[in-house]
């Protein structure tokens, strides 16, 4: 297959300024996939509403996330980047797909049960239909594959089941079963060294932080808990700073830390300074591009508008086929 003969779809909730966990877990892969497929990236603002208590920062968070994506290397000339609510066909398809989705399947999903546990005060209809809306996002552009971490695979399998139900019910092949592309998603721990990096846990390192702020966050990172004093030998295998060195430092530096930590030849302060320096160097091009883009915020909104326009054309085509298959008058 040629480079652009396959289409990939991914979506993410508008969470504002992105952090290292977002970058290493998703954005890096978003950028790389552009060399292989026609990519469509969606800011799923409607999904966000299902658990959101206030929409006060929705616009700002959408802008900041899109800005970070573009600064990191998403190329809008060849990749469609859009806001979910700007393509209303997604809600129409969601409604039609809901007719071939058994209620029991939705209430049985572990993700629904987890959300009910986490948001007992707001168990809304949208929360239940979340996987149907997600299927609609993917099926509207007839994506050939969806890159996901292994924990997200059941959602895509759910979308595949909906395709089979729909195509069987209406005796058609209009909808396309997306392949599940399992991507290696490294578990990026926060500066607490224990939990996954996340804004809500306040353990993140933001991509757009200044070099000084970044260094300060790195210096707060929890290291090998057994290493109490500088003279104690450490174990890099249990230290999150060492994990990050393996991503951002040269092989020689990784080797040096690996050896010297174990014989107390390097202290944690020095080790973190080295990582902070390498991380800041790595982020120079990202920060420069971000600063440039941020000078003209209209550019970001124009890119999102142009993406929605392209996506609406694709959606119109799919929806006319869907309506015909269903037999809507
Ligand atoms: S020297 Fe580096 S790798 Fe070793 S425990 Fe300290 S921060 Fe971690």
Which pLDDT score is estimated for 149? 82
Between the alpha carbon of residue 10 and those of residues 38, 80, 135, 219, 302, the distances in Å are 11, 11, 11, 34, 20
Closest CA relative to residue 37, chosen from 1, 76, 8, 66: 8
The DSSP 8-state label assigned to residue 187 in this structure reads -
CA-262 nearest atom, ligand 1: 4
- State the average pLDDT for the chain: 94
Residue nearest to atom 6 of ligand 1 (CA): 268
pLDDT of residue 1 exceeding 50: no
User: If phi over 0 gives left and psi between -120 and 50 gives alpha, with beta otherwise, what is residue 296?
Assistant: beta
CA-224 nearest atom, ligand 1: 5
Tally helices (H) and strands (E) across the chain: 16, 5
The DSSP 8-state label assigned to residue 199 in this structure reads G
The model carries a pTM of 0.93
Which pLDDT score is estimated for 115? 83
Which pLDDT score is estimated for 165? 97
Centre of ligand 1 from the C-alpha of residue 195, in Å: 18
Cα angle 30, 33, 38; round to 5: 105
Pocket of ligand 1 (CB under 6 A): 223-224, 227, 234, 236, 239, 241-242, 257, 261, 266, 268, 271-272
List, for residues 12-42, the tens digit of each pLDDT value.
999 999 999 999 999 999 999 999 999 999 9
Which pLDDT score is estimated for 153? 87
The secondary structure of 81-124, three-state, reads EEEHHHCCHHHHHHHHHHCCCCHHHHHHCHHHHHHHHHCCCCCC
197 neighbors 21 (Cβ within 8 angstroms): yes
Split at pLDDT 50, 70, 90, the class of 2 is: very low
268 neighbors 225 (Cβ within 8 angstroms): no
């Amino acid at each position: 297959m040629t480079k652009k003969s396959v289409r990939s779809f991914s979506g993410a909730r508008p969470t504002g300024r992105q952090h290292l966990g977002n970058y290493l877990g998703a954005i890096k892969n978003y950028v790389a996939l552009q060399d292989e497929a026609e990519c469509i990236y969606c800011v799923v603002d409607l999904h966000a509403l299902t658990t959101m208590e206030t929409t006060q920062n929705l616009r700002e968070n959408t802008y900041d996330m899109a800005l970070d994506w573009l600064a990191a290397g998403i190329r809008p000339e060849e990749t469609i980047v859009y806001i979910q609510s700007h393509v209303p066909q997604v809600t129409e398809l969601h409604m039609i797909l809901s007719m071939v989705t058994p209620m029991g399947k939705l209430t049985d999903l572990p993700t629904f049960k987890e959300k009910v546990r986490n948001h007992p005060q707001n168990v809304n209809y949208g929360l239940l239909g979340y996987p149907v809306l997600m299927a609609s996002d993917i099926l509207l552009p007839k994506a050939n594959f969806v890159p996901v971490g292994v924990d997200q695979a059941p959602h895509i399998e759910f979308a595949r089941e909906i395709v089979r139900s729909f195509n069987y019910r209406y005796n058609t092949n209009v909808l396309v079963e997306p392949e599940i592309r399992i991507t290696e998603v490294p578990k990026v721990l926060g500066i607490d060294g224990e939990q996954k990096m996340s804004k809500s846990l306040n353990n993140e390192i933001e991509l757009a932080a200044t070099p000084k702020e970044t260094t300060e966050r790195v210096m707060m990172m929890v290291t090998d808990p057994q290493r109490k004093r500088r003279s104690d030998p450490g174990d890099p295998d249990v230290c999150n700073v060492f994990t990050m060195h393996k991503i951002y430092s040269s092989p020689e530096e990784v080797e040096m830390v690996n050896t010297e930590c174990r014989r107390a030849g390097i202290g944690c302060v020095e080790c973190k300074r080295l990582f902070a320096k390498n991380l800041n160097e790595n982020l120079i091009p990202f920060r420069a591009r971000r600063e440039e883009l941020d000078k003209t915020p209209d550019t970001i909104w124009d890119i999102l508008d142009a993406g929605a326009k392209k996506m609406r054309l694709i959606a119109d085509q799919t929806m006319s086929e869907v309506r015909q298959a269903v037999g809507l008058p």
